[in-house]
Amino acid sequence: MKNLIIKLLANAVALAIAAWLISGITIQGATTGRRILTLLIVAAIFGLVNAVVKPIVKLLSLPFIILTLGLLIFVINAAMLLLTSWITGKLDVQFHVADFWPSALLGALVITIVGMLLNAVLPDKAELR
């Protein structure tokens, strides 16, 4: 349970940094508390998309991933970010990714780098017990 909460918070931080750095990614809310709640909801949806949809897409595109020496992974990550934006739009959550290039692709790159840094700093599962 603790690991799930830590991953949710790490996703929220990564999404917040991406929204701060990339002008095409917006998180709206009237108050700071509303923005934080929006970030947590978006992080949960983003985590679900990455847990359910992303493995299927990666499996179906495995030959192309190999052919592009793994660079297609960035395109898949950007597509997952756009899918998250679309889902949150249907749920009336104030998160929006403007377009694929440069917003989604650069946003996915920022989220990946921030996620890697946070995973290096945060404790592992075994340390949480």
d(CA 87, CA 105) in angstroms, rounded, equals: 18
Whether pTM exceeds 0.75: yes
Show the tokens assigned to 102: 């440069």
User: Would you give per-residue pLDDT tens digits along the chain (129 residues)?
Assistant: 788 898 899 999 999 999 999 999 999 887 889 999 999 999 999 999 999 999 999 999 999 999 999 999 999 999 999 999 999 999 999 999 999 989 999 999 999 999 999 988 887 655 555
Domains: count for the chain: 1
Distance, C-alpha 75 to centroid of its chain: 13
Domain span at residue 23 reads 2-128
User: To the nearest 10°, the Cα dihedral for 53, 54, 59, 63?
Assistant: 130
Nearest partner of 85 among 30, 19, 32, judged by Cα: 19
